[in-house]
Structure 1
Amino acid sequence: MASADLSRREAALLLGVVVVAWGINWPVGKALLHYLSPLWATTLRSAVGTAALLAICVARGRLILPRRGDMPVVLCVGLLHMTAFSLLVSVGLQTVPAARSVVLAYTTPLWVVPGAFLLLREPLTRARAAGVMLGLAGLALIFNPLAFDWHDRAALLGNGLVLAAALCWAASILYVRAHRWVSPPFELTFWQALLATCVLGVLALRQEGPPQLRPEPAFWLLLLYGGVFGIALAYWALTTVNRALPAMATSLGLLGVPVFGSLCSALALGEPLGPPLLGAMVLIVGGVALGTWKGPGAQPAGRR
């Protein structure tokens, strides 16, 4: 179905599919680490997603060669978002609960706001400034300096890596906002995923050698879900939604990912959703909503 043929209701339903797919993808990524190292889990999931994106592009007649003007955005999204973000999150998930990780990862818009003000000269409205402060209050509630075990180096590293992933995603978004597009965004998604897969594959082979693939059906189901639904179909659906709904509606709709992801992690992995995490979720999601609601000139891009 072409995006121009989508009704608002159909686009909203498709956006709901993206929220569900990415929400489930967080406990799936955590479970996949039971079978693979973070590096190989990220690499193989990226490879499956790349193959599925290739199939979608061929089936829809949208496979193109990137033009010269496309290369900077292919490199930026492929390396910062699809490689660095995915790998840092996967490593962080070894020591950080999936519910906490998804909330930390979706602080990305909070870092985009000051970055857009400093680098892109986008206006810093009162609503955006208030949204950042509300989100930072949520971060403080998650970490709770008085209760956090500062001697637990693994926990410090894990939380730091997920926050670093959010910063990488924010940097990718900032460049995507400033980029002058030559080809449509979706036509470049396959090449961005292919670049990420190649970089991750070389790193994985050099650092760890060939992967030890497991015969259990659960392993293959997790891998297929992460690649097909978490990468390929979600990116295709989001690109379709972006062309049918206002950017603001899409941005606010994606705030459902950390909420749904946290609930899925609690149900699937038995992770507790205590008052601090629930309160932080409300503050961060509310901060992002406040910072993006009716913000002039905001064009969200490069989402995950």
Structure 2
Amino acid sequence: MTLQNSTPARARITPAGLMFLALTSVGWGFNWPITKYLLSDLPPLTLRGSTGVFGAVLLALLAILSGQSLRVPAKLWPRLVVAATLNVGCWMVLMGLALLWLPASEAALIAYTMPVWASILAWPILGERPNLLRVISLAMAFAGLAAIMGGNGFAGSLEKLPGIIMALAGAFGFALGTVLAKKLPLHLPPLSAAAWQVGIGCTPVAIAGLVIEKADWATLSEFDWTLLIGATVVQFCVAYVSWFAALARLPASVAAIGTMAVPVIGVVTAALALHEPLGPGQIAALIFTLAGVALATRS
């Protein structure tokens, strides 16, 4: 990474950045219904924390095998801990808990208000003043999200309120982490950066799960284990690495807007796998959201 801290980030939009962003969106999109399904067998902190720790170990092994150093300079530890807390720890905990109150499709939709917060925060922190195309793309993407909410009969009932608050808090935290990653880059190799952030973010979550939850791993079926292992590898070894790589190659606001394909993928896969609603509203949202993402990549 060659970003500088003294001036606003001005990363250009590159084909490699868009490719990494697409990999991130697909990996995270599929993860929503899988996590919702697995929560019927494992409690949230145990599920999110244990998969994260396992994912961090895999990332560290990949880093070593690829010749990347895991050494972290002393001066980078504070910003590494902040990044891990916002981008991984808070996201894992809050989104895992939100799924206890919300369907996977609704949780994904609320979570991906993140681009709004990122675009707002990128202006004062990074000096990334939003241009007209970016504003239009953001409006189109959120028109798509509004269509999905309407199609699902989304209602902010009191029963769902804890999940809504947790999903919004997780979205804001991730947005702040996204913007700060551009302002205060870690200057670590991608695999090493991902391994440390996932490990630091998920280890306290796993410990909390061991202390306050009761997980019966023996009840998991072969299908459950297949989903658990597959989702762990895709989410951490593919999606997180791709996200950090995309963030290094794209403006923070463009990267954030691009991830709005994630809830569309989440809604569609949740409809197919969990039989959550998928009707004209969701189809219209697919068109609006992907059009917004496409426009964002040209801004």
TM-score by length of 2: 0.79
Structure 1: give runs of 5+ residues left out of the alignment. Answer: 1-7, 296-304
Mapped to 1, the partners of 2:26 and 2:257 lie a distance apart of: 15
Aligned residues: 284
Q: Which amino acid aligns with 1:226?
A: A
The structure 2 residue matched to 1:178, chosen from 171, 178, 183, is 183
Q: 2:4 matched to which residue of 1?
A: none
Distance 1:193 1:148, change over 3 A: closer
Task: Give secondary structure in 1 for the equivalent of 2:219.
Answer: coil
Q: Secondary structure at the match of 1:233?
A: helix
Q: Answer whether contact 1:66 1:188 (CA < 8 A) is retained.
A: no
1:269 aligns with 2:274: yes
2:104 is equivalent to residue 94 of structure 1: no
CA distance in 2, matches of 1:184, 1:243: 11
Following the alignment from structure 2 to structure 1, what is the Cα–Cα distance between the partners of residues 94 and 239?
Answer: 20
- Residues 70 and 289 (structure 1), Cα distance of their counterparts in 2 relative to 1, 3 Å cut: farther
Aligned with residue 233 of structure 2, among 223, 228, 231: 228
Q: Gapped runs of 5+ residues in structure 2?
A: 1-13
Q: How big is the shift at 1:16?
A: 5.2
Structure 2 residue aligned with 1:70: 76
Given that 1:48 and 1:224 are in contact with CA atoms closer than 8 Å, whether structure 2 keeps it comes out as: no
Shift of 1:78: 1.2
**1:146-204 deviations in Å (ceiling 9; x for gaps):** x7545x32222222322221111101001001014432343221111111222112322
CA distance in 2, matches of 1:10, 1:119: 25
* 1:70 Cα deviation after fit: 2.4
Mapping 1:13-162, distance limit 5 Å = 17-135=23-141, 137-138=143-144, 141=147, 149-150=155-156, 152-162=157-167
Q: Aligned in 2, Cα 1:216/1:40: closer, same or farther, shift over 3 Å? A: same
Structure 2 counterpart of 1:202, which letter? I
Q: Distance in 1 between matches of 2:187 and 2:287?
A: 39
Could you say which residue in structure 2 is the equivalent of 1:300?
Answer: none
Report if aligned partners of 2:29, 2:263 keep a CA contact under 8 Å in 1.
yes
2:89 is aligned with what amino acid? T
State which drifts further: 184-193 or 249-258.
249-258
Query: What secondary structure sits across from 1:163 in the alignment?
Result: helix
Q: Aligned residue for 1:199? A: 204
Matching residue of 1:301: none
Q: Aligned equivalents of 2:247 and 2:135: distance in 1? A: 26
Q: Distance in 1 between matches of 2:49 and 2:244?
A: 23
Determine if contact 2:104/2:267 at 8 Å carries over to the other structure: yes
Deviates more, 1:132-141 or 1:74-83: 132-141
When the two structures are superposed, what TM-score results if normalisation uses the length of structure 1?
Answer: 0.78
Distance 1:252 1:120 in 2: 16
Q: Tell me the secondary structure at the aligned position of residue 153 of structure 1.
A: coil
Q: Kindly indicate whether the alpha-carbon contact (under 8 Å) linking 2:59 and 2:191 is maintained by their aligned counterparts in 1.
A: no
What SS class does the counterpart of residue 154 from structure 1 fall into?
Answer: coil
The root-mean-square deviation of aligned C-alpha atoms, in Å, is: 3.4
1:225-283 per-position Cα deviation (integer Å, ceiling 9, x unaligned) = 22211112333355567788999997776544333222111111111123444445555
> Which letter does structure 2 place at the counterpart of 1:82?
V
Question: 1-side partners of 2:191 and 2:252: how far apart?
Answer: 16
Q: 1:284 to 1:17 in 2, by over 3 A?
A: closer
Q: Which moved more, 1:82-91 or 1:118-127?
A: 118-127
Q: Separation in 2 of the partners of 1:174 and 1:214?
A: 41
Instruction: Pick one of 188, 212, 219 that aligns with 1:214.
Output: 219
Residues 66-99 of structure 1: per-residue CA shift (max 9 Å, x gap) = 1123223321221112111121111111222212
- Quote the offset at 1:122 in angstroms: 2.0
Which residue number in structure 1 is paired with residue 10 of structure 2?
none
Deviations 1:206-228 (A, max 9, x none): 33266655342123222212221
What amino acid is aligned across from residue 199 of structure 1 in structure 2?
P
